[in-house]
Amino acid sequence: MPKRERGLRQASAIYRFGFAITMIVIAFALREAADSVLFTRSPYAFFIIASLLTAWLAGPGPSVVVVVAGALLGTFRFSEARETLRLGPNEMLALGTYLSVTVIALLISFSERRSLQARQEVLDLANARLRALDGERVARMEALERAYAAQQEIDQSRRDMARVLSGVSDGLMLTDRDLRVLEINDAAAAVARTPREKVVGSIFEEVWPRAVEMGQKYRRALSEGRPLRFDHVMPDGRVYDTSAYPSADGLAVFFQDVTERVASESRLRASEDRYRTVTNALPAIVWSSLPDGTLEAYNDRWYEYTGIAPGDPPDWGNDRIHPEDRAIVADEWRNARLTGEPFEAEYRIQARNGEHRWFFGRALPSRNEEGDIVRWLGAATDIHEIRLGREREEFLNELELLLRPVREADAAGRIVCEALAHHFGVARSLYALVNGDRYEALDGYSQGAAPMPKILDLSLFPSDIISALRRGKIVSTDDAETDPRTRDLYTEAYAPLQIRSFLTVPMIRDESLRAMLVLNDPHPKPWSEADIALVSEVSTRLWDTVERISAEQATEASESRFRALAESSPNLVFMTDHEGRTLFLNRYFLDYTGLAMESTMGQTLESLQVIHADDHRRLAARWLRSAQEGVEVREEARLRATAGDYRWFDVRIVPLLDDSEKIVGWVGSGNDIHDRKSEGERLEKLVKARTRELAQSNEELERFCYSVSHDLRAPLRAIMSASMIVLEDYGDDMDPGARVELNRQARAAR
């Protein structure tokens, strides 16, 4: 037995366990200082060596302490489990391998040590007996007996170790430093498809001549003293995770069937490849992250959009998010991770050209069978045009609400100018009328710059720009100092007015430039097509509002004149909409019927019950035909007075037409003809009475005339007869004059 070992064996338990602690500290320090890449897959290498040295020099108790300490430190200090404090499949495999190796190595070490101790005792006894001449035979026999007993113990230890090895599910092979197989368990023999008896005691390459490359790996591990791990594919296609751990006595090799795991990993890689292909085919930015929010990867769209090099480490790219949106995105993402609810947010991301575009981001958690979140999958879709369109509609709707109650054109221009200046962040906005070669600013808004002059000569500006405005073209420039159209006159025309960028929308009516809506700023500003379209739409609405206000003012003036005329009229005057609902009744109408203006608005003449029932049906029929033909109505009808009696009126109803000849209302009047109609009826009755009397007189006269006529016609008939007789008898003998006279006399008598 070596002197150092005998010294330690004779020391107290304190020193032996102190030696174990020293070995733990040394192994820990060496593992900390070692190259992390080299030992990433074997966090227990130095602790295996420390446990073997402790077992050899300090005994089994201290060596168990080293094994346990190595297991704890290697697992929770030098493996991936130190972050989550949870053992994954790889960590459990490594820990099991470490414990198996150390237990087997300790068993071998204890067995060898006991064997050496037994041999040493035999030699000591033999030497003692050789030096002692007396009793030499007895002593030698005793030594032989002890040697035999020790050999029996060694054989028993080997049998115990064989039973232990056979109980290990993974394949295990032990060799010496010449790669001679000392032991192999049944699982390893089954993997190698070689009987155990043929393997034990043979050189590795002699047993498996086709595994020369594997033998070279084992010999390199022995020569370099470093653990080795690799996947070995057997001829039948099965894959074994092979780990080799060198020591001073030889090599311990473990085999584990990982065919299913490798196949699963292959399927996973294929699935990830398909996922990557699909996500790269999408127009959206797609990303994935771990449950704690650590980014895993972006698809290619992210790198194409931002210009970030794909080889850079994955980074959330928060500096690419618009500063105004970063806090919102961070709060929503934090809340989603805490609650497990989907993440949703709208935010702007800077493109490679510096432009910020709006994106809609949404992420959903991916959960395992236990319901735990294992990954977040998200996508950011470009909604820039949709967002701008929505903001445009919101801006126009808000502007519409502001303009709706306005009754003055100046106020409308002021509201529009202020809204545009705030929306686009420009210094000035103005609404101006154009009169020949100059404009007159009606309203404007300025912030951070001097207001524009009220009157300005348009000839100061480039003629081609003014000509374009007169043709109805929208003119804009991002920088008047560098724009070829304006740079020649920048110092003379634009710089004194502090105009560096501008957008001008002309308002054309009757093929003439009537007004302009102008936005300008002392600094360069890019104008997008969406900006130009929005200002153009606002200018159209402003002009429509101005025309509406003008029309309303004209209508109000017309209505005032109408009301004045209606109130001064001696007739009933009323106005209705196109459906006959009352809009206006003059004072005479209200006084005559006893109605109140408030109770009549929106009512029809029928519902007011002011027209006699017999007359209303006739008037309604004529009114309906008038609505269909677009002509006026004129009828006589009786209207009810306050006292309930009815008076006759001459009712006239005229349709009101718009520019398209569509009836938009009715204006009616009623002239009181009751007295005239009553007098007419009285005179008609009198005429009828006189007519009857005259008819009676005529009848009596006719009878008298008939009688007189009969009495007077008798002498005449005698005269006629005598004249006719004379003419017949003596006509030829008479002179012509007498004959003519007799003929005349006969005719007169008839």
CB 512 within 8 A of CB 472: no
**Res 364 pLDDT > 90:** yes
Domain ranges of the chain: 1-167, 263-382, 389-552, 570-672, 685-736
3-state secondary structure 285-352: EEEEECCCCCEEEECHHHHHHHCCCCCCCCCCCHHHECHHHHHHHHHHHHHHHHHCCCEEEEEEEECC
State residue 39's pLDDT score: 46
**Local confidence band at 382 (pLDDT 50, 70, 90 cut-offs):** very high
Q: Which of 295-299, 499-503, 594-598 has the highest mean pLDDT?
A: 499-503
State residue 40's pLDDT score: 47
Cα–Cα dist 507/312, whole Å: 53
Q: Phi/psi class of residue 53: alpha, beta or left (left: φ > 0; alpha: ψ in -120 to 50)?
A: alpha
**pLDDT above 90 as % of the chain:** 16
pLDDT tens track for 182-201: 888 877 777 777 787 888 88
State residue 454's pLDDT score: 86
Place of tokens 């008798």: 714
pLDDT tens track for 234-284: 777 788 888 888 988 888 888 888 888 777 777 767 766 776 776 777 788
Cα–Cα dist 31/73, whole Å: 10
Residues 321-347, mean pLDDT to the nearest whole number: 94
pTM for this structure?
0.45
**Res 581 pLDDT > 70:** yes
Hey, what amino acid is at 474? I
pLDDT tens track for 529-569: 889 999 999 988 888 888 888 877 877 787 778 788 877 78
Cα–Cα dist 747/423, whole Å: 115
Superfamily of domain 263-382: PAS domain (3.30.450.20)
The strands making up 239-246's β-sheet, listed across from edge to edge, are 181-184, 171-176, 250-257, 239-246, 228-233
State residue 629's pLDDT score: 82
Cα–Cα dist 239/231, whole Å: 6
Please, which residues have CB within 8 angstroms of residue 610's CB and are 6 or more apart in sequence? 593, 595, 639, 640
Place of tokens 């047993």: 207
CB 600 within 8 A of CB 608: yes
Say which DSSP state 134 is in: T
Least Cα distance to 241 among 224, 253, 226, 249 occurs for 253
pLDDT tens track for 198-245: 888 888 888 888 788 888 888 888 888 889 888 888 777 788 888 888
Cα–Cα dist 630/661, whole Å: 9
Statement: 389-552 belongs to CATH 3.30.450.40? yes
Choice between 292 and 45, residue whose per-residue pLDDT is larger: 292
Least Cα distance to 499 among 565, 531, 451, 545 occurs for 451
Place of tokens 């009715």: 666
For residue 181, the surrounding DSSP H or E stretch is strand 181-184
Please, which residues have CB within 8 angstroms of residue 491's CB and are 6 or more apart in sequence? none
Least Cα distance to 400 among 428, 427, 419, 421 occurs for 419
Straight-line distance from the first to the last Cα atom of the chain, in angstroms, rounded to the nearest whole number: 197
Please, which residues have CB within 8 angstroms of residue 192's CB and are 6 or more apart in sequence? 171, 184, 199, 207, 208
- Sheet strands (E) in 368-427: 373-382
For residue 635, the surrounding DSSP H or E stretch is strand 633-640
pLDDT tens track for 462-496: 989 999 999 999 999 999 999 999 999 899 989 99
Cα–Cα dist 535/431, whole Å: 12
**Local confidence band at 523 (pLDDT 50, 70, 90 cut-offs):** very high
Cα–Cα dist 320/312, whole Å: 15
**Res 308 pLDDT > 50:** yes
Instruction: Output the six-digit token pair for 135.
Output: 């009793």
3-state secondary structure 523-550: CCCCCCHHHHHHHHHHHHHHHHHHHHHH
Lowest mean pLDDT among 71-75, 254-258, 316-320, 651-655: 71-75
Beta bridge partners of 672: 649
Instruction: Output the six-digit token pair for 334.
Output: 């934090």
Instruction: Output the six-digit token pair for 322.
Output: 């618009």
User: In this structure, how many other beta carbons lie within 10 angstroms of the beta carbon of residue 602?
Assistant: 11
Beta bridge partners of 229: 243
Instruction: Output the six-digit token pair for 466.
Output: 């003014």
Cα–Cα dist 482/516, whole Å: 24
* Radius of gyration over every alpha carbon of the chain, rounded to an integer in angstroms: 61
Lowest mean pLDDT among 110-119, 169-178, 534-543, 668-677: 110-119
Q: Which residues of 551-585 are buried (b: 16+ CB within 10 A; e: fewer)?
A: eeeeeeeeeeebeeebeeeebbbbbbeeebbbebb
State residue 144's pLDDT score: 61
Place of tokens 């002197």: 3
CB 7 within 8 A of CB 16: no
Say which DSSP state 492 is in: I
Please, which residues have CB within 8 angstroms of residue 401's CB and are 6 or more apart in sequence? none
Hey, what amino acid is at 357? R
**Local confidence band at 8 (pLDDT 50, 70, 90 cut-offs):** very low
State residue 620's pLDDT score: 86
pLDDT tens track for 423-468: 889 999 999 889 888 888 877 888 878 888 888 888 888 989 999 9
| 570-672 CATH, one of 3.40.630.30, 3.30.450.20, 3.40.640.10, 3.20.20.70 | 3.30.450.20
